[in-house]
Amino acid sequence: MKHKKLLWQLVPTYLAITLGALLLVGWLAANTVHRFYISQTETDLEVRAHLIKEQVKKDFNLVNRLSLDSLSEALSQISSTRITFIDINGNVLGDSDEDPAEMENHSDRPEIKQALTAQKGVSIRYSTTLKKRMMYLAIPVKSDANESLGVVRVSLPLVTIKDALAHVYSGIAMGGLLGLILAAVISYLVSKRISNPLIEMKSGAIAFASGKLNHRLTSPPVEELSELSTAMNKMAVDLSKRIETVTRQRNELEAVLSSMVEGVFAVDIEEKLLRVNRSAQALLGVKSENWQGRTLTEAVRNPDLQRFVIDILENHETIEDEIVVGDKFLQVHGTILHDAADREFGALVVMNDITRLRKLENIRREFAANVSHELRTPITSIKGFVETLRDGAIDDKESAVHFLDITAKHTNRLNAIIEDLLSLARIEQNTESDRIELTRGSVRDVIMSAVGISLQKASEKGIPIEINCSVDAHADIAAPLLERAIVNLLDNAINYSGKGSQVMVNVEKQNSEIVISVKDSGCGIDAEYLPRLFERFYRVDPDRSRKLGGTGLGLAIVKHIALAHNGKVSVESKLGEGSEFRIYLPHS
């Protein structure tokens, strides 16, 4: 529907009312004037009729009646009226305008009938003789003895009335037109006075709707509108306060959810995501702009998680589960959401990332299996040789000594593994509980001491150890541990290098770190083994390691010693060309 402006509704209404009133007044005025003219004419005619009657009464006898026609003409000229004399039978005796001989009998004319029976007869009708609308007034003519002699009829054409009325009508029309123009102007001004404040209020309401709640409406002079503007201003203030409260509450909720380590997301009954906190976005791999307005299925393609949410929504209960999303293990806890009226409106899921826990469990399991495996070999050998000795070999002294040598070798190996495991466990524990004491000391001294320990083994194999320690760096160190790490690296460098190769120990400062590198030109390691090299019991060639008396824990100890110093380790190696192991120590 097309809406009209208030102005264009009010102005035509005012005009219609004014016009209606003018028409009514005009009609009433015209009617009154008409009636007044008619009665005036009637009175006038009656007076004239009576005057004429008195004049002609005596001529209504049989003798004089022939003179009535000429009398009618004479009197008509004096009184400017058509005059007709009629006898009691309706025969026209004289007429000022026509020849009575040619006129028909008038006994059927209403004014004549009335005049013969009453005091007067009046009729307004169209005269076929004169072709005009006429007013006829007839009065009886009576003898002195009250005997009816005939009728005197006077008449006037009503054209005069019509002319007079036309003047009145044009006067009314002119006045009406002026009144109408005046009404139009006044109604326009009045309408403006009403509609202007309304227009201002409309723009104020639009401003409120578009969020400009600081806007204030001015108070219009009209009382009702003024009250309305006050109410609207109050509404804006209330609304602003409410929005402020809601925004603050939302921000608080947002802040709480954002700072939660747990991933939290909420869905409605249709599984549409209502809220996904930052942790949940990271855990589920969804971007903040990606989840809004989407369902869980659209945002996260994980059937297990979808089934979990469906289970909560269908079973209306709190459930727990473990779900794998990508490379993460999530412990999920889901519950139904209720609104203030206790109606279910969705589900809330809280997720804990237990990937590290699971990985640690796996490492622990793997470690236990590795330890068992590592220990089983020497124990099986020792058991075998002890049984062989008991079964008689003990009597053969030569064999017995040989077997006991082997048993001793395996025992040493067991001891070495256990020693290394204990060292590793101690370093790890002390690192975790922050019990490793780091004191300011010379890195160069530690290197010199470590090289001193490995020197004999190196010279046995004919491998020279070159030390390049130009800077006498000082750092916060646990000297015995750092020495152990460098000895381990030197041991490996000697073990996995052939005769004629050489080992180089290098110390240098790089930005805020001291880098100790042990480089050899030995067998080197294939790139595929490098990522796992620092794991416990990880060996590239287990047989070779065992033959060399290795426990498979040397590099793991190096890594944990570096971590105990808040540092790190790295390796670079090329098969057949040699390896370089580095320890990075923080330096300040």
Q: Give the containing element (helix H, strand E) for 278.
A: helix 278-284
Q: Are 299 and 290 a contacting pair, CB within 8 Å?
A: yes
In the complex, least distance from residue 541 CB atom to ligand ADP, rounded to whole angstroms? 5
Q: How many angstroms separate the most distant Cα atoms in the chain?
A: 207
Q: In what order do the strands lie in the sheet with 513-520?
A: 465-468, 503-510, 513-520, 578-586, 568-574
Q: Judged by CB under 6 A, which of 81, 277, 281, 492 binds ligand ADP?
A: 492
Task: Out of 496, 501, 521, 565, point to the residue binding ligand ADP (CB under 6 A).
Answer: 496
Shortest distance, CB of residue 453 to ligand ADP, whole angstroms? Answer: 15
Show the site string, 8-47: x = touches ligand ADP by CB under 6 A, - = not: ----------------------------------------
Q: How far is the CB of 513 from ligand ADP (least distance, A)?
A: 22
Segment 216 to 275, residues that bind ligand ADP, using CB under 6 A: none
Task: List own/partner pairs for 351-360 with CB under 8 A and 24 or more apart.
Answer: 351/262, 351/263, 351/264, 351/265, 351/279, 351/280, 351/283, 352/262, 352/263, 353/263, 353/283, 353/328, 353/329, 354/322, 354/329, 354/330, 355/327, 355/328, 355/329, 357/329, 358/329
Least Å distance, CB 370 to ligand ADP, is 12
Nearer to ligand ADP, 103 or 504 (CB): 504
Query: Nearest approach, Cβ of 364 to ligand ADP (angstroms)?
Result: 19
Cβ nearer to ligand ADP, comparing 191 with 497: 497
Choosing from 156, 351, 525, 585, the residue that interacts with ligand ADP (CB under 6 A) is 525
Q: Packing angle between helix 355-390 and helix 397-432, nearest 10 degrees?
A: 160
- For the bound state, the minimum distance from the C-beta of residue 301 to ligand ADP, rounded and expressed in Å, comes to 41
Token couple for 389: 């000795």
Stretch of residues binding ligand ADP (CB under 6 A), selected from 67-75, 130-138, 342-350, 521-529: 521-529
Site string for ligand ADP, 441-480 (x = CB under 6 A): ----------------------------------------
Q: Using CB under 6 A, which of the segments 56-64, 149-157, 516-524, 561-569 binds ligand ADP?
A: 516-524
Instruction: Give the footprint of ligand ADP on residues 550-569 (CB under 6 A).
Output: 550-556
User: Can you state the percent helix, strand and coil of the chain, rounding each to 5?
Assistant: 55, 20, 25
Give how far the C-alpha of residue 124 lies from the chain's centroid of Cα atoms, to the nearest Å: 82
Of 441, 509, 512, nearest in space to 470 by CA = 509
Residue 339 CB contacts under 8 Å (≥ 6 apart), including other chains = 345
Q: Which amino acid, 265? A: F
- HEC-encoded secondary structure of 182-238: HHHHHHHHHHHHHHHHHHHHHHHHHHHHCCCCCCCCCCCCCHHHHHHHHHHHHHHHH
Q: Is 83 helix (H, G, I), strand (E, B) or coil?
A: strand
Q: Tell the smallest beta-carbon distance from residue 564 to ligand ADP (Å).
A: 17
Burial class (CB in 10 A: 0-12, 13-18, 19+), 92: buried
Min separation Cβ 467 and ligand ADP, Å: 17
Among 533, 562, 569, 583, binds ligand ADP (CB under 6 A): 533
Cβ nearer to ligand ADP, comparing 68 with 507: 507
526, 540 in Cβ contact below 8 A?
Answer: yes
In SS3 terms, 232-277 reads as HHHHHHHHHHHHHHHHHHHHHHHHHHHCCCCEEEEEECCCEEEEEC
271 vs 374, beta carbon nearer ligand ADP: 374
Nearer Cβ to ligand ADP (137/540): 540
Kindly state the tokens that stand for 184: 């139009």
505 binds ligand ADP (CB under 6 A): no
Nearest to 218 by CA among 237, 235, 198: 198
Exposed / middle / buried, residue 11 (Cβ in 10 Å: 0-12, 13-18, 19+): buried
Candidates 92, 493, 564, 585; binder of ligand ADP (CB under 6 A) is 493
Q: Which of 48, 539, 560, 565 binds ligand ADP (CB under 6 A)?
A: 539
- Span near ligand ADP by CB under 6 A; candidates 94-102, 244-252, 384-392, 549-557: 549-557
Binding part of the chain for ligand ADP, among 7-15, 134-142, 206-214, 490-498 by CB under 6 A, reads 490-498
Q: Which is nearer to ligand ADP, 403 or 496 (CB)?
A: 496
* List 465, 520, 521, 564, residue binding ligand ADP (CB under 6 A): 520
Q: Out of 284, 540, 564, 583, which residue is the one contacting ligand ADP (CB under 6 A)?
A: 540
By beta-carbon proximity to ligand ADP, the closer residue of 134 and 493 is 493
Summarize as ranges the residues that interact with ligand ADP (CB under 6 A).
492-493, 496, 520, 522-523, 525, 533, 538-541, 545, 550-556, 579
